[in-house]
Structure 1
Amino acid sequence: MHLDHAVAQPHRHTHSAAPLRADGTRRALRIGLGGPVGSGKTATVAALCRALRTDLSMAVVTNDIYTREDAEFLLREAVLPPERITAVETGACPHTAIRDDISANLEAVEELEDAFREHAPLDLILVESGGDNLTATFSRGLVDAQIFVIDVAGGDDIPRKGGPGVTTADLLIVNKTDLAPHVGSDLGRMARDAAEQRGELPVAFQSLRGPEGVAPVADWVRRRIAAWTAR
């Protein structure tokens, strides 16, 4: 099939958001979490909130297509005070609101920052994408770093298949490792394939039911915060 007319492509925001506000103060570090439906993004966000909330002033923006389900889960779990959790209903494929037209998410992020600027300026904002596929990435105009979450139940061939989410995220989480023996996933194979696809970019193997839980990922976030504030 040949097209004899130009096809309009969505505008993608690839520039990085300025780290300083107009008044010269440093804004919060923004970290995006993406990954397929059911991979454990919201559970990871909840665990990170519990691990970091005593040390950091933080907030969360969730994305769902037509509901506030992820935000409501975080509210029920009381991982942060309600005023620190907000939701965006994308009304379309989740990647459009985190990569192509980021206006709704950017507005939510900026409103959270404004709400806490006077008394408890935010150190960290987590932006969780709605469930998407392996091509999902965040605009650098929205977040400063990206985490991509996959799980062993989705198949141990996911790292080998690659895709921008797997290959370019600042951190790849292989989640639900406790399920590997039950679903026939080879963690060693996943580690080798992830290393081949990602080079020196880090990979964290995680079970939120295990003793280590989210600790390695929380430590990675702390290092990003330290680097951000030192800039």
Structure 2
Amino acid sequence: MHLDHPVITPHRHTYSAEPLRGDSSRRALRIGLGGPVGSGKTATVAALCRALRDELSIAVVTNDIYTREDAESLLREAVLPPERITAVETGACPHTAIRDDISANLEAVEQLEETLRAVDLVLIESGGDNLTATFSRGLVDAQVFVIDVASGDDIPRKGGPGITTADLLVVNKTDLAPYVGADLDTMASDARRQRGDLPVAFTSLTQPDGIRPVADWVSRRLAAWRTGAAA
């Protein structure tokens, strides 16, 4: 599906893309996290929850094709109370449920917001996909795309919509660079060439507070959302 192709969603969900609720209050900021299999999406979600849960009301929606594996991993790690984590089984290629037919994810998000009432941030994790994975703007307000050093330092220069258009590109597992022969400077340079002024964060989630660059970006995005600057 071409990125310029219009996304069609059921009519009863069209209000979900609007930043304001029916009572004119601002709904939760929705951030999607996509990226290839094994890049560290679930670990990034878990680390964000740990870093921000004391200051924000957070909920999570995970996507897997036929299982609830990622949600169950987050539940085992107790990154949030169980009622704040839910799963969507897409039954098809992961990008279908985050870009083409987003109704199942919208239902999951809306149910969480209705049940929990006051929610600041909803993290929506895609199932593992390729460099073409993008979220519908009817589902999320911003997209994070996660790649990892172990997949090769040529990944940023390969481009693809996930790398070139995501609001934040995360280059994860930087601690593995010496062991896989990856050049982080090359990855940074290639990412800048592909993304222009769009931000890039390098992370190592095995390090203390290794999620901090991403957590700080999320906090800034939420602050802008609350003031209406990032509608």
User: Shorter-normalised TM-score: what interval?
Assistant: over 0.9
Equivalent residue, structure 1, for 2:112: 112
Query: After superposition, what is the alpha-carbon deviation per residue over 1:182-208, rounded to whole angstroms, capped at 9, x for unaligned?
Result: 011110100000000000000000000
Cα deviation, residue 21, structure 1: 1.0
Equivalent residue, structure 2, for 1:100: 100
Aligned AA for 2:185? Answer: G
Query: After superposition, what is the alpha-carbon deviation per residue over 1:142-170, rounded to whole angstroms, capped at 9, x for unaligned?
Result: 00000000001111101000000000000
Answer yes or no: is the 8 Å Cα contact 1:152–1:177 preserved in 2.
yes
Residues 1:174 and 2:171 aligned together? yes
- Kindly report which structure 2 residues correspond to 1:62-211, keeping only aligned pairs within 5 A, or say none: 62-117=62-117, 121-211=118-208
Query: After superposition, what is the alpha-carbon deviation per residue over 1:199-227, rounded to whole angstroms, capped at 9, x for unaligned?
Result: 00000000001234101100000000100
Q: Secondary structure at the match of 1:47?
A: helix
Answer yes or no: is the 8 Å Cα contact 1:11–1:100 preserved in 2.
no
Structure 2 Cα separation of the partners of residues 212 and 196 of structure 1: 28
Structure 1 Cα separation of the partners of residues 185 and 57 of structure 2: 37
TM-score by length of 2: 0.92
Cα deviation, residue 17, structure 1: 1.1
Q: Secondary structure at the match of 1:150?
A: strand
Size of the alignment, in residue pairs? 220
Cα deviation, residue 22, structure 1: 1.5
Answer yes or no: is the 8 Å Cα contact 1:13–1:141 preserved in 2.
no
Q: Secondary structure at the match of 1:105?
A: helix
TM-score by length of 1: 0.92
Structure 1 Cα separation of the partners of residues 192 and 186 of structure 2: 10
Which protein is bigger by CA-based radius of gyration? 1
Residues 1:214 and 2:207 aligned together? no
| Aligned CA distance change for structure 1 residues 11 and 92 (closer, same or farther; 3 Å) | farther
Cα deviation, residue 20, structure 1: 0.5
Aligned AA for 2:44? Answer: T
Aligned AA for 2:153? Answer: D
1:12 to 3, 7, 13: 7
Structure 1 Cα separation of the partners of residues 122 and 171 of structure 2: 22
Gaps of 5+ in 2: none
Equivalent residue, structure 2, for 1:4: none
The percent identity for this pair of structures is 80
Q: Secondary structure at the match of 1:147?
A: strand
Equivalent residue, structure 2, for 1:41: 41
| Aligned CA distance change for structure 1 residues 165 and 13 (closer, same or farther; 3 Å) | farther
Structure 2 Cα separation of the partners of residues 102 and 21 of structure 1: 19
Cα deviation, residue 12, structure 1: 2.0
Gaps of 5+ in 1: 1-9
| CA RMSD in angstroms, aligned pairs only | 1.6
Structure 1 Cα separation of the partners of residues 152 and 164 of structure 2: 17
Answer yes or no: is the 8 Å Cα contact 1:13–1:99 preserved in 2.
no
Structure 2 Cα separation of the partners of residues 116 and 182 of structure 1: 44
Q: Secondary structure at the match of 1:173?
A: strand
Aligned AA for 2:7? Answer: R
Answer yes or no: is the 8 Å Cα contact 1:150–1:174 preserved in 2.
yes
Provide runs of 4+ in structure 1 moved above 3 Å. 13-16
Aligned AA for 2:198? Answer: L
